Amino acid sequence: MRTYLDWVGTRPRVLCAAVLCLITLPSHAGPCSSEIDRLQPLLDAKIAATAQAGQAAPEGDAALLHRQPTPGSIAGAESKLGEGAQLDRAVAALARAREADGAGHRLVCEQAVADTLRALGP
């Protein structure tokens, strides 16, 4: 007859085995996840290069609260300065691609990826 202590002693092993089984399950990638992952660093680099080459602007309220800028916020600030309209389109297109990818819509995702590439230019 098993006692409570015997059952508690096997419980961690069963839990570890269950966790290992779940970890080894394949993760679901969307239809164009690899393209999105390839484009994100290109977009980030283009935004950074545009920010470096462009005009300076006063700090916004978010900067005064010690928040880090995101690629989208940098592109938005550049568009207010009259710069980076192409980058705004690229950021929006990549966001559409991520949304379509998450929903499993291959054609919409591929179109958004193509839009991102066009907006990034040569």
Predicted confidence band at 7 (pLDDT cuts at 50, 70, 90)? very low
Distance (Å, rounded) from C-alpha 87 to C-alpha 44?
Answer: 10
Give the whole-number percent of the chain exceeding pLDDT 70: 72
Residue 79, phi-psi category: left (phi > 0), alpha (psi -120 to 50), beta (remainder): alpha
pTM (predicted TM-score): 0.61
Domains of the chain by residue range: 29-120
Find the Cα–Cα–Cα–Cα dihedral 89, 75, 95, 25, rounded to 10°.
Answer: 140
Instruction: Please check whether residue 114 is in contact with residue 35, taking contact to mean a CB–CB distance below 8 angstroms.
Output: no
Distance (Å, rounded) from C-alpha 107 to C-alpha 97?
Answer: 10
Look at residue 77 in the predicted model and tell me its pLDDT: 74
Tens digits of residue pLDDT in 10-35:
455 545 454 454 454 445 578 899 99
